[in-house]
């Protein structure tokens, strides 16, 4: 994969993520982590090669089919991408609304999820009034509210404190137990070390052997 006439951002990349698996992807800045996620959630096309999702070639799928495929993928973006004209509640509920569900059917589920991520007192607030960590938690709630088949997260704990990071990770673990395939791009070596999940390490656009893991501090217990 490359952008315009620039050098390859990803090259000779060959991997498969089994349904229901849970992986981290890590590596230095510029290694291609965000680009890999873009390929998976259909925001970019490979310059060469194939991408298969849900048992089909999505590179050559008709454009009319891609919105339906994207609805099966939850994404936590680094820059949140919230809709500033919608309240916290309505931002979180947006995937359910797009899917055609009625507010009466999902109101309690959305409220429970927002409570889980610590936004129970902010449901009627507008995104412009939220702090950075609150915006990140709202983006996570929106990404997982419809229990997607695949969840992709780009530095999902970058703007939250340690306690909330653990809580968010446990939410991801629970989704994974329900069958969601999860791929998290992160620099958080502490989170990786505690999780026990497999890691894809990217360097210069390729999967490389992972550096020796950080030792787990004795005071830490597992996150799952």
Torsion of CA 197, 203, 209, 214, to 10 degrees: -50
81 Cβ partners below 8 Å, 6+ apart? 139
How confident is the model over 104-111, as a mean pLDDT? 94
- Alpha-carbon distance of 13 to 45, in angstroms, equals 14
Closest residue by Cα to residue 202 from 211, 193, 194 = 211
Q: Which residues pair with 58 in a beta bridge?
A: none
Q: What crossing angle do the helices spanning 103-116 and 132-144 adopt, rounded to 10°?
A: 130
How many CA within 13 A on the CB side of residue 152? Answer: 19
Q: Would you state the pLDDT for residue 20?
A: 94
Which structural domains are found in the chain, ordered by start? 22-208 (3.40.50.300)
Q: What crossing angle do the helices spanning 103-116 and 88-98 adopt, rounded to 10°?
A: 130
Torsion of CA 196, 198, 204, 205, to 10 degrees: -140
How confident is the model over 5-18, as a mean pLDDT? 89
- Alpha-carbon distance of 142 to 156, in angstroms, equals 12
Q: Would you state the pLDDT for residue 169?
A: 87
- Residue 33, pLDDT > 60, answer yes
Of 101-115, 161-175, 178-192, the range with the lowest mean pLDDT is 161-175
pLDDT band at 211 (very low <50, low <70, confident <90, very high): low
SS3 of residue 73 by DSSP: strand
Q: Which tens digit of pLDDT belongs to each residue from 169-201?
A: 888 898 899 899 999 998 888 888 888 899 999
How far apart, in Å, are the Cα atoms of 209 and each of 19, 25, 26, 199, 201? 23, 12, 11, 10, 7
**E-assigned strand segments in 19-110:** 22-26, 52-53, 56-57, 73-76
């Amino acid at each position: 994969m490359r952008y315009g006439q620039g050098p390859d951002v990803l090259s000779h990349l060959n991997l498969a993520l089994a349904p229901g698996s849970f992986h981290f992807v890590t590596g230095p800045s510029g290694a291609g982590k965000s680009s890999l996620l873009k390929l998976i959630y259909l925001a970019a096309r490979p310059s060469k090669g194939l991408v298969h999702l849900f048992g089909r070639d999505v590179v050559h799928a008709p454009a009319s089919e891609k919105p339906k495929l994207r609805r099966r993928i939850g994404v936590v973006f680094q820059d949140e991408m919230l809709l500033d004209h919608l309240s916290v509640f309505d931002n979180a509920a947006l995937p359910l609304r797009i899917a055609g569900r009625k507010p009466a059917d999902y109101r309690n589920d959305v409220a429970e999820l927002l409570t889980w991520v610590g936004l129970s007192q902010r449901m009627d607030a507008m995104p412009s009034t939220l702090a950075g960590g609150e915006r990140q938690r709202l983006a996570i709630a929106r990404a997982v509210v419809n229990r997607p088949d695949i969840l992709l997260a780009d530095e999902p704990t970058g703007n939250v404190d340690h306690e909330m990071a653990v809580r968010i990770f446990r939410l991801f673990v629970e989704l994974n137990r329900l069958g969601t395939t999860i791929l998290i791009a992160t620099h958080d070596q502490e989170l990786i070390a505690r999780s026990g999940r497999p890691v894809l390490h990217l360097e210069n656009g390729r999967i490389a052997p992972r550096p020796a893991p950080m030792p787990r501090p004795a005071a830490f217990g597992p996150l799952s």
